[in-house]
Structure 1
Amino acid sequence: MIETWTHDRIFTNGINLHYITQGEGDLILFLHGFPEFWYSWRKQIPEFAKDHKAVAIDLRGYNDSDKPAGNDAYRMSEFVEDVKGVIEGLGYQRCTLVGHDWGGAIAWNFAYAYPQMLDKLIILNLPHPAKFSQGLTTPQQPLKSWYVFFFQVPGVPEFLIQLNDYKVLESAFLGMAVNKNAFTKEDIEQYKNALAKRGALTATINYYRNAFQSGIVGKNWGVLNVPTLMIWGEEDTALGKELTYGTEQYVKDFRIRYIPKCSHWVQQEQPELVNQYIREFI
């Protein structure tokens, strides 16, 4: 892969975060999910760098960003302040924020905390926190989210994930993907190498270990006044499509685009369509 972007680091909320950037203009900021890193946005950055300053960060604990010790460092309040510091540290007061999976959870929470700092909000395959909370009361979603509960066990997930050269990571991407060709061998190696960095595995799992105290479930959510687009791969085996129904109750200006025959890894599996929908929205 020929890189067309540059790498840099930024100090925010007491830690250094690694990011890649390309282009100039209004800021569009991308937040990845688990078990990924900035690389998840490799097919979006060049497109939106045409008329924006496109930035994709490694969330705290991931890849080349700092990995502070202790569970308390991986709470939603910290993630939200990280994002605020990135926006301001790059010299902006506002941005378009794009989040997938855990990055989507952070983006939802950031939008409620700092709506004045967002022009647009774009969420990929992560339901509104209120809808996820409701989903956990149904029979089907807890079964799909079994890994969230498994990750609460100390030490065991780290041990199992590392087995057979992180084979479970390969299974997560290729096993869930509808279009297996969306991930090359090199792509899988990139994800394995990022997760294998010292301290990264425990740090990334700590997101889940704090999930129930972290603003993912259980809060009272008002109506968000930020124009919001949700893009949803319909074949997501971890998060049911039904979790998207009724989101308009929580967002004043809401629209959704479903992508059939597409998995949870929506921006990597259907990059052209995702890029089209984002561009139409912004």
Structure 2
Amino acid sequence: MPGLLLPIVILLGLVAPIDDAPEAKAPDIRDLVTHGKADSNGVKIHYATMGEGPLVIMLHGFPDFWYTWRAQMPPLAKHFRVVAIDLRGYNESDQPEGVEAYALDRLVEDVAAVVRHFEAESAVIVGHDWGGMIAWSFAMAHPEQTKRLVILNLPHPKGLLRELAENPDQQRASQYARNFQADGAEALIPPALLAGWVQDPEARAIYVEAFGRSSRTAMLNYYRANYPRPPYDQALEGREFPPVSCPVLMIHGLDDTALLPGALAGTWDWIADDLTLITIPGAGHFVQQDASDRVTQTMTWWLTSSPWAP
């Protein structure tokens, strides 16, 4: 499948961060967190946690792991119990076999298992990319357990499906997802390539190590189990999306080449509470790292300021 490699390289390797002012080297987040595992119907979900207070659960996307939130965790931990998980299949979480093990309803229940593990009635759910899809879905399936929702570079699923059906640019941008669904695609994404988007050399080495522990088949099973296939005009048929009933903060890097900003239009129609939408020019798909200071400041402000404080 020689045609598979190019879109992967484009997706993972050409996302340039915007320039941030140089700062003193921060302590290694890995020395500041406590690790544990939550049980989700027999699947162990690894997490890293720090801080005390209301529960904030952070969900990464593809290809990533809990470490992606290293800039956001310490500031948020001054106010919250922050729990960043490895999605199933990634890093130190269990890696069940079979495409069906990665269906969206099971991913949602992994989050519910973490809420139960910490004996909380509800939580703020933060998600990026696939973590964003899980976060949207969790808020719709478990509104009583969702205090607030923070979504980074993942449009509401209804907006994404609409764009896939109607927008040829989004269809072309999603070619990588169709390639990921192909049999044997995991053989073409070694850990070093998966970590190609990480700009900092020290962090990239940490990512390569984590991806070496991960299941690349599991990573692609997210796409095989859940990403729509053509004809896209049928993707919305029979799909119901209950209104999201909690306040929502969306942060979207406008240079995302995979998830185009057109899918953001109409989001306010699918949320029954406040929506705060922040777009960041010059930041790409991994906005939490491309514009880490702005993302951290925005999240901290939104989660600690009335009327949005949990």
Q: TM-score, normalised by structure 1?
A: 0.90
Which residue of 1 is the match for residue 146 of structure 2?
Answer: 118
Q: Is the 8 A contact 1:8 1:19 kept in 2?
A: yes
Which residue of 2 is the match for residue 186 of structure 1?
Answer: 202
Q: CA RMSD in A?
A: 1.6
TM superposition shift of 1:151: 1.1
TM superposition shift of 1:221: 1.7
Which residue of 2 is the match for residue 127 of structure 1?
Answer: 155
Which one-letter code corresponds to 2:215 in the other structure? A
Mapped to 2, the partners of 1:169 and 1:202 lie a distance apart of: 13
Which one-letter code corresponds to 2:289 in the other structure? Q
TM superposition shift of 1:31: 0.2
Q: 1:59 to 1:186 in 2, by over 3 A?
A: same
Which residue of 2 is the match for residue 98 of structure 1?
Answer: 126
Mapped to 2, the partners of 1:242 and 1:128 lie a distance apart of: 11
Aligned counterpart in structure 1 of residue 183 of structure 2, from 154, 160, 165: 154
Mapped to 1, the partners of 2:299 and 2:257 lie a distance apart of: 23
Instruction: For structure 1, list consecutive stretches of 5 or more residues without a partner in the other structure.
Output: 175-182
Q: Is the 8 A contact 2:148 2:248 kept in 1?
A: yes
Residue-by-residue CA offset, 1:58-96 (whole Å, 9 max, x unaligned): 011100000011111000010111100100111101111
Mapped to 1, the partners of 2:195 and 2:81 lie a distance apart of: 32
Aligned counterpart in structure 1 of residue 241 of structure 2, from 221, 230, 252: 221
Aligned counterpart in structure 1 of residue 267 of structure 2, from 239, 244, 247: 247
Which residue of 2 is the match for residue 86 of structure 1?
Answer: 114
Mapped to 1, the partners of 2:266 and 2:301 lie a distance apart of: 23
Does the alignment pair 1:9 with 2:24?
no
Which one-letter code corresponds to 2:193 in the other structure? V
Q: Is the 8 A contact 1:30 1:97 kept in 2?
A: yes
Which residue of 1 is the match for residue 277 of structure 2?
Answer: 256
Does the alignment pair 1:200 with 2:212?
no
Which residue of 2 is the match for residue 280 of structure 1?
Answer: 301
Q: Is the 8 A contact 2:68 2:289 kept in 1?
A: yes
Q: Is the 8 A contact 1:13 1:78 kept in 2?
A: no
* % identity of equivalent residues: 41
Partner of 2:37: helix, strand, or coil?
strand
Q: Which runs of 4+ in 1 moved over 3 A?
A: none
Which residue of 2 is the match for residue 169 of structure 1?
Answer: 194
Mapped to 1, the partners of 2:36 and 2:104 lie a distance apart of: 24
TM superposition shift of 1:42: 0.8
